[in-house]
Amino acid sequence: MSQRNTGVTPQVVNAHACPVREVLDRVAGKWSVQILVAAAQGPIRFTELERGIEGISRRMLTLTLRNLERDGLVTRTVYPTVPPRVEYELTPVAQELHETLQRLTDWAERNRVYIAEARAAYDVERQPELLDA
Amino acid sequence: MSQRNTGVTPQVVNAHACPVREVLDRVAGKWSVQILVAAAQGPIRFTELERGIEGISRRMLTLTLRNLERDGLVTRTVYPTVPPRVEYELTPVAQELHETLQRLTDWAERNRVYIAEARAAYDVERQPELLDA
DNA sequence: CCGTATCCTGGTCGATACTG
DNA sequence: CAGTATCGACCAGGATACGG
């Protein structure tokens, strides 16, 4: 592989067997989903994204946007004004993705308490001695 | 945090703002989804999982199962026979999750070609000099 | 305003060897 | 059969500084 490490998601050697994993690899990055969500309402500027997504660094914002753009999930439009202005917008395909992600959100919200309790119970079960520290 | 590193997913310091990320953190692990899929048809044994999921190591299978169990997504049942027999089964909550993951799969399959082409186009655009190597 | 380049750290996973 | 323990590699992502 003659390509240097550009920070872009490297291509897989053995193609994915499972299509679910394929999506996840695209979306499992720490910031991908939040960008998709933030951009779902319409075109949005770089700085708006940066301000809207708590804790994201400029680097990761750029990197994640590039990957999304590479996969055809966002479009990048540069307006050659001064100061420069760049807008990102979800493609129709990404809009679909965003809708299915919404199902996941629903699931998470319906079951977040259940999961939290399961965790708590499990942890108590396995590490009871840590309770009196 | 007085807990040693047991290989179990560490708890987050700052709680998740976004509920989508909460799901993803639970499912984004390299093997979680494949385990959920493999177990979706009914109770399944450790070795069956190991054989069914190409490339998974014993270690990762155990680790991922533990995390899923901890989150209340799978149940672990030990039959004290000899040789021992352990069965894993999805909880109803995980069954729901599995269904929504199915939507993601559908999306992936509908759009895999589109994405592959987007990638190819993007890469050519950015690294044309690599074509004649 | 919108990035890129570099350096560095910690968490994830694979390999391997050992147990009830 | 169904695990656990240990070590090491690798890379995603944070901090920081610079550029058009």
**Could you tell me the domains of chain B?**
3-132 (1.10.10.10)
Q: Please list the pLDDT of chain A residue by residue as tens digits (133 residues).
A: 344 456 666 554 445 667 778 888 889 999 999 999 999 999 999 999 999 999 999 999 999 999 999 999 999 999 999 999 999 999 999 999 999 999 999 999 999 999 999 999 999 988 666 555 4
Q: Taking 90 as the threshold, does the pLDDT of residue B30 lie above it?
A: yes
Q: What is the per-residue pLDDT for B19?
A: 77
Closest chain A residue by Cα to residue B32: A21
- Predicted model pTM: 0.88
Q: Which site among B21, B25, B123 would you substitute to test the A interface, given the most A Cβ atoms closer than 10 Å to its Cβ?
A: B21
Task: Give the single-character DSSP code of B55.
Answer: T
Confidence of residue B2 (pLDDT cuts 50, 70, 90): very low
Give the nearest chain A residue to B70 (CA atoms).
Answer: A119
Nearest residue by alpha-carbon distance to C1' of C13: B60
